[in-house]
């Protein structure tokens, strides 16, 4: 399989939950506006679990006092993992240089990119975004309500729909386990905030990603109402399959009467980037920035000496993951359809504005 096929196979395997009601810190609990648990100290040595990672405050600008959404919860694989696998015994980890070299802290954080992943650009950027700090990994929480009130990231590299997916790489948190972790979070919110308040909070969540209809219904039963479904990218499934998925999601809008479901077509978003690579300033689309072998995709990115000097001219960062420039373009499409109309019947910003 070529580098292109391998990367597109994993791109956009994510789930996002976003509360779009009044800020939680205003209604339920006081949270400092700059509360951030973001990066983790890189591990060294073997692929065993890291020692307890220390939180690092990134150089955030002043965050808005009233963000467009008070919380964001993420489920997925390595495309949105922000440090979950740092706590696990696995070789699927990004807690060493050159990962994170172009991130806000210029240090590896567990993100499988040279910089930010898509979720980071939706949380805050130079332009209008959700206005949230980077949410911490679920495994890095302390159990305090302050650690989850802005959201949590459950995503784990090498995870998949099947529990056995990625098992050859070591430990991971499967999508089924991530959903259970999310349910556990809901339960803790009910205990800390009270059932009525937690139910109100949960009802305003938005969900985005590859998930079964039954999975969506399970979340609906938990009072999740606003959903953004991100389709799988090219090579992972024929585009006709993606169209069928979109139609099914639209039907769910009628079947689940209180739900609002958006489908974002990652296929078209990805192909638009490749078709207009010169417009975006990409010089290399068939070879990764970091790695060895054919397409720099035969040996994984292991050390700084294996990386190119300027990742911004590359579409791919390593053998499976895009550069943060690609992540920003795709995030812009999800947010406001800046480059292409990926999301239907509306984009994320339009959906949030319906409640403001």
Report whether pLDDT(211) > 70: no
What is residue 210's predicted lDDT score, i.e. its pLDDT?
Answer: 55
Instruction: Read off the pLDDT of residues 23-52 as tens digits, 9 standing for 90 and up.
Output: 444 433 333 323 232 322 233 334 455 444
Q: Which helix (H) or strand (E) holds 75?
A: strand 71-76
Instruction: Read off the pLDDT of residues 88-126 as tens digits, 9 standing for 90 and up.
Output: 999 999 999 999 999 999 999 999 999 999 889 988 876
Nearest to 223 by CA among 175, 274, 267, 187: 187
What is residue 293's predicted lDDT score, i.e. its pLDDT?
Answer: 93
* Residue 309 CB-density burial (10 A; 0-12 exposed, 13-18 middle, 19+ buried): exposed
Instruction: Read off the pLDDT of residues 285-327 as tens digits, 9 standing for 90 and up.
Output: 999 999 999 999 888 899 999 999 999 999 999 988 999 999 9
């Amino acid at each position: 399989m070529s580098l292109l096929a391998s990367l597109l196979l994993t791109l956009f395997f994510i789930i996002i939950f976003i509360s779009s009601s009044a800020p939680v810190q205003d209604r339920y609990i006081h949270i400092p506006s700059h509360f951030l648990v973001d990066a983790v100290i890189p591990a060294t040595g073997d692929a065993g679990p890291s020692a307890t990672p220390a939180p690092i405050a990134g150089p955030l600008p002043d965050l808005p006092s009233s963000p467009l959404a008070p919380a964001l919860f993420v489920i997925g694989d390595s495309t949105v993992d922000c440090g979950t696998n740092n706590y696990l015994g696995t070789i699927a980890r990004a807690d060493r240089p050159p990962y994170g070299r172009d991130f806000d802290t210029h240090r590896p954080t567990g993100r499988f990119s040279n910089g930010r992943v898509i979720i980071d650009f939706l949380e805050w950027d130079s332009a209008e975004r959700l206005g949230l700090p980077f949410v911490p990994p679920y495994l890095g929480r302390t159990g305090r309500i302050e650690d989850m009130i802005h959201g949590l990231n459950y995503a784990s590299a090498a995870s998949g729909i099947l529990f056995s997916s990625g098992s050859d790489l070591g430990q991971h948190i499967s999508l089924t386990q991530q959903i259970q972790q999310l349910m556990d979070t809901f339960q803790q919110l009910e205990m800390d905030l009270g059932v009525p308040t937690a139910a109100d909070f949960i009802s305003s969540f938005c969900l985005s990603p590859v998930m079964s209809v039954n999975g969506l219904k399970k979340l609906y039963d938990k009072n999740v109402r606003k959903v953004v479904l991100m389709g799988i990218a090219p090579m992972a499934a024929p585009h006709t399959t993606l169209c069928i998925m979109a139609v099914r999601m639209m039907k769910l809008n009628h079947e689940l009467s209180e739900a609002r479901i958006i489908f974002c077509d990652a296929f078209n978003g990805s192909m638009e980037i490749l078709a207009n690579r010169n417009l975006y300033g990409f010089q290399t689309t068939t070879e990764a920035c970091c790695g060895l072998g054919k397409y720099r995709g035969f040996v994984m990115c292991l050390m700084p000496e294996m990386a190119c000097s300027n990742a911004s001219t590359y579409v791919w960062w390593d053998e499976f993951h895009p550069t943060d420039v690609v992540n920003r373009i795709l995030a812009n499409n999800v947010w406001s359809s800046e480059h292409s109309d990926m999301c239907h019947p509306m984009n994320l910003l339009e959906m949030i504005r319906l409640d403001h």
